[in-house]
Structure 1
Amino acid sequence: MNLAILPRRGYVQHPTPIEACPAFSRALGNKVNIFIKRDDLLPGCAGGNKTRKLDFSMADAVAHKADTIITCGAVQSNHCRLTLAWAVKEGLDCHLVLEERVSGSYKPEASGNNFLFNLLGVKSITVVPGGSDMPGEMEKLAARLRANGRTPYIIPGGASNAIGATGYVACAQEILQQLFEMGLPIHHMVVPSGSAGTHAGIAVGMVGNNAGIPVSGINVSRTKTDQEQLVRKLARATADHVGMKGTFPDDAVTCFDGYVGPGYSLPTDSMVEAVKLLARTEGILLDPVYSGKAMAGLIDLVRSGYFTEGANVLFLHTGGSPALYAYLETFR
């Protein structure tokens, strides 16, 4: 697995910190020692995990001589924010297709990422109903742009294909080097699991490096069965892409679906508790859609005794805190 041969743009120049969270751990009864991989501090407008994926996705777009980027996401998509921001840095136009997964949830005047889309100069926003064929909607937009002489490049939602997920294979390698330098054994890792690229990439990286660190994904939308199938499919494709032909085991993927609540992006009491508790013990902001629900899952797993007492548990913070400002009523 030689990632150096794969093209990337160099957006990630330095490792993000692995931060101990002693006050947060005490608030959970000191059953385990919690550490956070701070990918909320990655470069790019307001930070977040998609920068690692876009490092590779944008390189492919440049190689295809694209002058326009098209991508998709939910109405407060962190992925769309960062794709737009990196397109700005690359001098490329960017068009967004937003899926209104909760009817009536798109508000052009909303704060959070909606505000940032316009501030960053998005070329167009197309809003489609929940359940739409998102690849098809992006391809329709691409066809119109091609007819006008443009050269569009489509990045899938979350940059979650084998190219984008490679960013998190690299992250797994980065983590293992940091743990070696810190002299810190990690016994379990917890990641948000949504469009699957982050989860799949981390799982492939841990398997490819024989790390022996189990990775659990906390679902933000789908059932356990559906999400595990999605992650495994993408993990196999990613493993092939980075040179691990046919070597990814199904049992390297575990997901928990008990923290989704009424649906994707819809608040839960446990998410609110998790966001407030981390903010008030460690001064770290989570987001309400991904990292907040994932941390709610970690908290419950700690309280229920899922982890061995005294274990060191690493949580991957995928960023997204700008979305908090679209959920003010939830936290008041």
Structure 2
Amino acid sequence: MNLAKFARRGYVTAPTPLEFLPNFSRALGAGVSVYMKRDDMLPGAGGGNKTRKLDFCVADALNKGCDTLITCGAVQSNHCRLTLSWAVHEGMDCHLVLEERVPDSYNPEASGNNFLFQLMGVKNITVAQKGTDMMAAMQKVADKLSAEGKKPYIIPGGASNALGSLGYVSCMEEIMAQVFHIGLKIDHMVVPSGSAGTHGGIIAGMIGNNIDIPVTGIGVNRPKLVQEQAVLTVANASLELIGVDVRVLAEKVVAFDDYVGPGYSLPTDSMVEAVKMLAQTEAVLLDPVYSGKAMAGLIDLARKGYFPKGSNVLFLHTGGSPALYAYLPTFRQGK
């Protein structure tokens, strides 16, 4: 695969660490060794996986002469935070459309990413009700800005289109170079699965490079079959964009929905356990929406024997820890 033919802004200046978690692995007590790909340490205000995707998307926007970024997400969206941060870096305006996936959940005075939106000078926030056609809502904002003489560029939620997902095709190549360098055999990979671009990009990267490592996605919002189809669609769109003739088979895509709990972004006991466990064994901060629920899935699956004893399991940490500060009551209960 030749990713060099696609324009990037160079936001990812060095590989993120790939670390063994010895204390966590011991505390887990499941006979597996857990490693972590630290994409929480990517550049951008607060870090996180969307920087890899925006590296490609913002380059496309600038190449098209755009001066404004428009994107969408939930009310505490890490993707929106990072899109805004790179817009600021590039001297571009940024407009956000936030979906209240939990009714009445948007609070402009909230901490976490809501605070960072204001701190970094977001131009405007439009709040949409749950179930809104978010592409249509963003297009409405774009039409208004175009009429005012601006040149807007719409980035879909999570930057999860074929172009954005190239960030995780590239990440998979980066991971394989790292494990080769240190002489590590990875037996299984666990990834958060939300807007599908990260999960889909990882799978596309494996298919395109003839890598046969099982990948388990831990869904954070949609039913299993819906999520798996979304991941499959993005993965194949990425391979088509790159020019790889092979396509992903449906059976290669696994995205459990057992750890979503009562709904997207709503706390679960297993998420709280996972966040506290990582903080207290490795001083690693997970977020309550994506990496926290994904790690809850890894913990439960490991305890149930899903990974054979002696396995090396790699967890992709997608970042998002600034959102923790919007969940203080959740973590302070029952201290």
TM bracket (short chain): over 0.9
Shift, 1:242, TM fit: 1.3
Indicate the SS of the match to 2:195.
Answer: coil
Query: Which residue matches 1:239?
Result: 239
Query: Which residue matches 1:27?
Result: 27
Residues 254-269 of structure 1 mapped to structure 2, 5 A cutoff: 254-269=254-269
Query: What amino acid sits opposite 2:203 in the alignment?
Result: A
Residues 49-60 of structure 1 mapped to structure 2, 5 A cutoff: 49-60=49-60
Query: Which residue matches 1:177?
Result: 177
User: Do structure 1's residue 142 and structure 2's residue 142 form an aligned pair?
Assistant: yes
Conserved 8 A contact 1:48-1:320: yes
- Between the aligned partners of 1:11 and 1:214, the Cα distance in structure 2 is 29
Shift, 1:246, TM fit: 4.2
Query: Which residue matches 2:276?
Result: 276
TM-score by length of 2: 0.98
Query: What amino acid sits opposite 1:80 in the alignment?
Result: C
Query: Which residue matches 1:225?
Result: 225
Query: Which residue matches 1:302?
Result: 302
Q: Alignment RMSD, CA only?
A: 0.7
Shift, 1:10, TM fit: 0.5
Query: Which residue matches 1:97?
Result: 97
Conserved 8 A contact 2:103-2:129: yes
- Between the aligned partners of 1:67 and 1:90, the Cα distance in structure 2 is 9
Shift, 1:327, TM fit: 0.2
- Between the aligned partners of 1:242 and 1:291, the Cα distance in structure 2 is 28
Shift, 1:243, TM fit: 1.5
Query: Which residue matches 2:123?
Result: 123
- Which runs of 5 or more residues in structure 2 are unaligned? none
Query: What amino acid sits opposite 2:176 in the alignment?
Result: L
Residues 62-101 of structure 1 mapped to structure 2, 5 A cutoff: 62-101=62-101
Indicate the SS of the match to 1:177.
Answer: helix
Conserved 8 A contact 2:30-2:302: no
User: Do structure 1's residue 200 and structure 2's residue 200 form an aligned pair?
Assistant: yes
Query: Which residue matches 2:162?
Result: 162
Indicate the SS of the match to 2:322.
Answer: helix
Shift, 1:70, TM fit: 0.3
- Between the aligned partners of 1:247 and 1:24, the Cα distance in structure 2 is 36
Conserved 8 A contact 1:95-1:125: yes
- Between the aligned partners of 1:81 and 1:21, the Cα distance in structure 2 is 28
Shift, 1:250, TM fit: 2.0
- Between the aligned partners of 1:79 and 1:115, the Cα distance in structure 2 is 14
Indicate the SS of the match to 1:81.
Answer: helix
- Between the aligned partners of 2:30 and 2:149, the Cα distance in structure 1 is 60
Query: 4+ residue runs of structure 1 moved beyond 6 angstroms?
Result: none
- Which runs of 5 or more residues in structure 1 are unaligned? none
Shift, 1:82, TM fit: 0.2
Conserved 8 A contact 1:207-1:252: no
- Between the aligned partners of 2:146 and 2:230, the Cα distance in structure 1 is 31
Identity of matched residues, %: 68
- Give per-residue Cα distances to partners, 1:25-75, cap 9 Å, x unaligned: 111115100000000000011100000000000011011100110000000
Residues 4-43 of structure 1 mapped to structure 2, 5 A cutoff: 4-43=4-43
Query: What amino acid sits opposite 1:41 in the alignment?
Result: M
- Give per-residue Cα distances to partners, 1:227-263, cap 9 Å, x unaligned: 0011001111011011213432222211111000000
- Between the aligned partners of 2:130 and 2:119, the Cα distance in structure 1 is 25
Query: What amino acid sits opposite 1:286 in the alignment?
Result: L
Query: Which residue matches 2:324?
Result: 324
TM-score by length of 1: 0.99
User: How many aligned residue pairs are there?
Assistant: 332
- Give per-residue Cα distances to partners, 1:49-108, cap 9 Å, x unaligned: 000000000011011100110000000000000000000011100000000000011000
